[in-house]
Amino acid sequence: MILVLGGAGYIGSHMLKLLRETGESHLVFDNFEEGHREALLGSPYVQGDLRNRDDLRKLFADHPDIDVVMHFAAYIAVGESVEQPGKYFTNNTTAVIGLLEEMRAAGIGKFVFSSTAAIFGEPHYVPIDEAHPKDPTSPYGDSKLMVERILKAFDVAHGFKSVCLRYFNAAGADPENRIGEDHHPETHLIPVAILAAMGKKPSLKVFGTDYDTPDGTCVRDYIHVLDLAQAHLLAVKHLRAGGDSRQYNLGNGQGFTVRQVIDAVEHATGLKVPNEEAPRRAGDPAKLIASSDRIRADWGWNPQYGDLKVIVEHAWNWHKTHPEGYA
What does the DSSP 8-state code read for residue 144? H
The one-letter code for the residue type at 319 is H
Q: What share of the chain is helix, strand, coil (3-state, %, to 5)?
A: 40, 15, 40
Element (H, E) at 158: helix 139-158
CA-to-CA distance for 294 and 249, rounded, in angstroms?
8
Choose the catalytic residue: 75, 140, 167, 305: 140
Residue 11 vs residues 17, 24, 35, 125, 225: alpha-carbon distances, Å: 10, 17, 10, 28, 6
Helix (H, G, I), strand (E, B) or coil at 48: coil
Instruction: Say if residues 241 and 319 touch (Cβ distance below 8 Å).
Output: no
Q: Is 140 a catalytic residue?
A: yes
Cβ-count burial 284-306 (b if 16+ within 10 Å, e if not)? ebbbbbbbbebbeeebebebebb
The one-letter code for the residue type at 246 is R
Point out the residues that are catalytic.
140
